[in-house]
Chains A and B, each alone.
Chain A
Amino acid sequence: MLVSGVVSPPSIAQRFAEGDESALREAFDAWGGLVLALARRTLRSEADAEDVVQQTFVDAWRARQTFDPDRGELPGWLVGIARRRCIDRLRAGERQPDPVADVADDEPAPDEIDAVADRLLVATAVAELPVAQRRVLELAFWEGCTHDDIAERLGLPLGTVKSHIRRGLERLRGRLDREDEGLAGAPGAGQPGASRAR
C-alpha cells in the first residue's frame, strides 16, 4: 500500500519560518525537484541548475524570517527565489559570452521562465490537493475526460464528481493565489507574472 501524505506542506512551511532545521530538509525533499526542474529548463548546464537548487535553499533559509506562511505558500516562495537566481545566471552569461557555444540563443527569456514557473507550480498545487479532488481534476485537465467519463471511470455518482470538480477548482484557486503571493514575495523577486490569473 502506498503511504503518502506523511509530509505535511503547511507544517513544513510554518516550521521553516520558525527556523526548525528539519523543515529545511523536508522542504528540499518535497520541492527540490520543483526547483531543479525550473533551473534545468532555464539554464543549459546541469551543474548550473544544481548550483541554483543549492543557492535557492540556502537563500531561502537565510531569508526565512521574511517568509510569511499565512500569506504565501512555500513552493511559490522557493520558485520565486530560484527564478531570480536563474535570471542572474543568464545575465552573467550574457556579460561574459562563451566563446565557443552560443549560450544566449537557446536560453529562455525571463518571461518564458515565468511561464515555466507557473506551469510547475500549478502541477505541484494539483498534486497536493486532497486525493479525491486531485484524481478528478487530473482526469478533467489532462486526460480530456468529461464529468460523465470521470464518473464512469471512477465508479462515482455524477453529483459527487461535479462536487469534487467544483470544490477542487475552488481550492486550487485559493492555493494558486497563495503560490502567487509566495512567488511575488520572494527575496529579490522582480516583476514576475505572478498575478496573471487574477
Chain B
Amino acid sequence: MAKTHIVKSYDQDLKSLKIKILEMGTACGHQLSEAVKSLKSRDHELAKKVIADDTKINALQYEVEQLTINLLAMRQPLAIDLRSVVASLKMASDLERIADYAANIARHVTELNGIVFDDTINIIFDMADHALSMLKDALESYQELNIEKATHLWRLDSEIDCGYEKLIDCLRTMMTEQPAKIRGATALLFIGRSCERIGDHIKNLAEHIHYIVTGTADIRDRI
C-alpha cells in the first residue's frame, strides 16, 4: 500500500513494528546459521553461545508484543493495518519458535562427540541450508509484501519434509547396523526434527504475509 496515513505518527508506529519483526527475523536467521555452524564444526563453545543467546530472541518477541498491544489500544487499526498488526504478533511467535529449535539443534551438538556420520549428516546440512534460505525469502517477502514470493516459499517446505523422511530412513539403517552409534543417531534425529519444524514455522510466516495482503491465510486457494 503506497498511500500514507493522514496521521503521520501512525505510519511511524507501523514502520517501527515492521522493523522490529525484521530485526527479530534476522536474529533468528543468525541463531539458526550459528547452530548449523556449531554442528558442522562440532564447536561446543559456539553451541553454548547459541543456547544462551536465545534469551535475546525472547526479549525481541516481548518488544513486538508491546508494540502490537500499544498499536491496538492507541490506533484501533482496521483493514490492512489490523491484518498487519495481528499477523506481526503471530509472526513474532513463529520466529520465537524457530529460534527455540535453533537452540535445540545446538543442545544436541554436544551429544554427537566424535561420531562420524558419513553422508547422513549432509541431509541435515541440506535441510538447514534450505530452511535458512526460506527464512531469508520470508523476511524479504514480508518487507515487500510480495505474495508471489511468499507462495513460492510456502511450497518449498515440502523439500525439507522430503529431506526429513530420507534422514529417518538413513538413521534407522544406521541404528540397526551400527548399534554403537544409537546415541548420536538419536541426537541427529532430534536435530532433523528441529529443522523440519523450522520449515513448518517458516511456512506459517508465508501464510501470515499472505493474510496481510489478501485477507486470507489459505495459500492453497492460489494453486
Q: Judge: A and B partners, yes or no.
A: no
